[in-house]
Structures are given as C-alpha cells and as structure tokens.
Chain A
Amino acid sequence: KQEVTQIPAALSVPEGENLVLNCSFTDSAIYNLQWFRQDPGKGLTSLLLIQSSQREQTSGRLNASLDKSSGRSTLYIAASQPGDSATYLCAVEGGSYIPTFGRGTSLIVHP
C-alpha cells in the first residue's frame, strides 16, 4: 500500500526566503507525482505534475523534482511571498491509478 509523507508539517518564514518542501513515498512504481496548493476551506489548485519519466518541472518561482529510486520529491519555492501562504499537498499516482495524498505542509509567509 502506497504511503506518502510530507515534511515539515508546518513552516513559518519571513518574506523573501527560498523554501524546500519535501514529499516521500514508499512504492517507487508510480506514473506521476503532482503538487497542489490548498487555501483554507477551499479546493485544490494544481501547481506542477511530473511524469515518472521526468526529473523536474518548473513554473515561475516553483520547481519540483522527482527521484523515483529514492521515493522522494521536493518543491522549491523561490523568493517566498505572503500570497504563497497555504497548505501544499503532494499526490502520487501508481499502478492502480488511485492517487495517494500526503497530509500536506502548512506554510505561512509573514511580511
């Protein structure tokens, strides 16, 4: 059974810092890994999707990497802003096509 762990569970940083959020998974036989953002009480917004054959994806200030062999992904946020405050979730999709989510990292960026 796939298990997804996200570290840290919570993070509070001053504006302007570069951040790294971590996601690890137990079964490396995956099709893709997706990073999402969730604002309080809201739905999820897709940030980046990495196919199993890819090593990384970039969008603006966001960069996500994938290392299947070690079962890890990182989300790098450059020059953080207060508007980045949200919960960040990673989800792994394996052979069953059923996505497994982590519990998320709650990020607060203060001015």
Chain B
Amino acid sequence: DAGVTQSPTHLIKTRGQQVTLRCSPKSGHDTVSWYQQALGQGPQFIFQYYEEEERQRGNFPDRFSGHQFPNYSSELNVNALLLGDSALYLCASSSGPDQTQYFGPGTRLTVL
C-alpha cells in the first residue's frame, strides 16, 4: 500500500500564475481533503471531496478550486497566485466510519 501520494513535492511560481497540485488517496479511501499549512501554523482546511463532489469548504476564496476523479484521486487548483499562497499544501484521505485521516507528504509551494 503506497499510502497517500502527492505531486509535485516542490513548486516555485510567480504572482498571478496558476498552479495545479495532485493527490492520490490511500487504497480503499474515497474521501479527499485539502489543507494549507503556513510556516509555524496548523493546517487550515480548504475543502473536501467525496463522490466527485465538493462536500465541505473552509474559508478560502474562489481562487481555490478542486476536482475529484472517478478513481478518487484529486486536484487542487489555485488561480491568480499571491505571495501569501506560499505554504505547504497537504492532502488527506479517509473512508467511511473510520474517521482517521491519512496525510500525504505535502507539496511545498513558493510564490515569488
């Protein structure tokens, strides 16, 4: 079992650009959540996908959007990047009654 995987591991972008981050959930998991973690802070919930639909959303602007595919993998898209979007982006998967979230290693995004 490969666990939760994320790509790429690091990314450098400039202000105004767009970025797409990818996540493959743990085998057997159908729910994917995305988090943003700024340096020295706890993760902030962005949104959660289940059955290809956005089920919950945190307090993030519409510049942050996502998608879940039929194989349960997911993408996070961020448009019009700002310097403040620089952070570690974490993906977590879970399934059914087991509420334990399993996290991937994250994607480090730097916006210059």
Q: Which residues of A contact B (CB under 8 A)?
A: 4, 31-32, 34, 36, 41-46, 49, 51, 89, 91, 93, 96-104
A42 touches B42 (CB 8 A): no
Among B42, B55, B88, B108, contact of A103 (Cβ-Cβ < 8 Å): B42
B56 touches A101 (CB 8 A): no
Among B6, B33, B100, contact of A34 (Cβ-Cβ < 8 Å): B100
Residues of A within 8 A of B45 (CB): 98-100
Complex-state Cα separation, A45 to B103, whole angstroms: 7
Among A46, A51, A93, A103, contact of B102 (Cβ-Cβ < 8 Å): A46
B110 in contact (CB, < 8 A): no
Complex-state Cα separation, A51 to B57, whole angstroms: 22
Grouping DSSP codes into helix (H, G, I), strand (E, B) and loop, the B interface class, with mixed when no group exceeds half, is strand
Given contacts A31-B99, A32-B99, A49-B99, contact A102 B42 (CB under 8 A): yes
Residues of A within 8 A of B6 (CB): 43
B103 touches A97 (CB 8 A): no
Complex-state Cα separation, A102 to B41, whole angstroms: 8
Residues of B within 8 A of A103 (CB): 40-42
Among A4, A43, A96, contact of B90 (Cβ-Cβ < 8 Å): A43
